[in-house]
Amino acid sequence: MGDVNRWLVLGLLFFSHGIVDFIFQSRKMVEAKKAGRPRGYFFHFISILAALIIFLHPFLSWPVAVVILFLSLTHLIVDVVGYCITSAEKIDSNPLGFVLDQLVHIAFILIAWWWLDQLPRFSLVGFYSGMSETYFWNAKLVPLVVVANIYLYVAFGGAIFMRKFMHSLPFGVSKQEIAGMGMYIGILERIIILTFILYEAVAGVAFVLMAKSLARYQELNDKSFAEYYLVGTLLSTVLALLGGFFLYFSLEFI
């Protein structure tokens, strides 16, 4: 593959995985997998297969088809093994298991991409062939995919990690608070922080934290809630800052 195409394909592989695991994996799918019901795994498998086909179809070829099938099957196998070795009651409070699960998925993505990268440069199929220089082969698309991936993984992947992490702590806060509006506030908070860093306005992070604290001011009188709030806010901010700086330096490198 050409240099632009190889990075574009890698970005699309990561985006396909992230959008399926972090956004389109419904709570019903998770509950079905926790209960050992095959339909949960089946619908998740179909989701990842569909996402890979949608995002990689411009590069359609037999090697790409092999990679799509390989990643869909390995994704399914990793999920089955993960749910089998983790008890159902610990699934929602196992942040380390979530991180390890994602690292294994990422490893398979990198293996598939490395193998694909050893093959000759792909040519687009059908009507895409005339767009090669103006769109898919355009180096400006690679930074957009990088930005989309970092927002996706930090904002939405971070939401899942935060939920599992907060469930694992001994705070007297309801699961509704962790998985409800608080989760959406955290997603928005990380998106705003990433945007501030992207535009080199890091001082704006303080404004986000101040606004969030003012909204929760009276609730902070509760010691348990205050501890939960402090840990959750600091961890969420750290995730956003790490993602933001990675985004900033990635764009500088590209």
Tell me the pLDDT tens digit for each residue of 108-158: 999 999 988 776 555 444 445 444 444 454 567 888 899 999 999 999 999
The string of pLDDT tens digits covering residues 163-184 is 888 888 776 555 555 556 778 8
Q: What confidence score (pLDDT) does residue 127 get?
A: 41
CA distance 70 to 103: 17
Query: 128 is written with which tokens?
Result: 């895409």
Q: When comparing pLDDT for 229 and 150, which is higher?
A: 150
DSSP structure class, residue 89:
G
Q: What confidence score (pLDDT) does residue 138 get?
A: 52
Q: What confidence score (pLDDT) does residue 124 get?
A: 46
Q: What confidence score (pLDDT) does residue 72 get?
A: 96
List the domain boundaries for the chain: 3-138, 148-253
Helix (H) or strand (E) holding 75: helix 62-85
Least reliable range by pLDDT among 2-11, 65-74, 243-252: 2-11
Query: 226 is written with which tokens?
Result: 């205050």
pTM: 0.86
- Look at residues 109, 133, 132 and name the one whose alpha carbon lies nearest to residue 21: 109
Q: What confidence score (pLDDT) does residue 8 get?
A: 84
- Look at residues 193, 207, 179 and name the one whose alpha carbon lies nearest to residue 243: 193
Whether the CA torsion 115, 121, 126, 130 is positive or negative: it is positive
- Report, in this order, helix, strand and coil percent for the chain, each rounded to 5: 85, 0, 15
What's the rounded mean pLDDT across residues 17-46?
91
Least reliable range by pLDDT among 17-31, 58-72, 129-143, 187-201: 129-143
The string of pLDDT tens digits covering residues 42-71 is 999 999 999 999 998 888 788 889 999 999
CB 92 within 8 A of CB 167: yes
Q: When comparing pLDDT for 41 and 142, which is higher?
A: 41
Residue 197: count other Cβ atoms within 10 Å of its Cβ: 20
Q: When comparing pLDDT for 1 and 81, which is higher?
A: 81
Q: What confidence score (pLDDT) does residue 215 get?
A: 67
Q: When comparing pLDDT for 46 and 3, which is higher?
A: 46
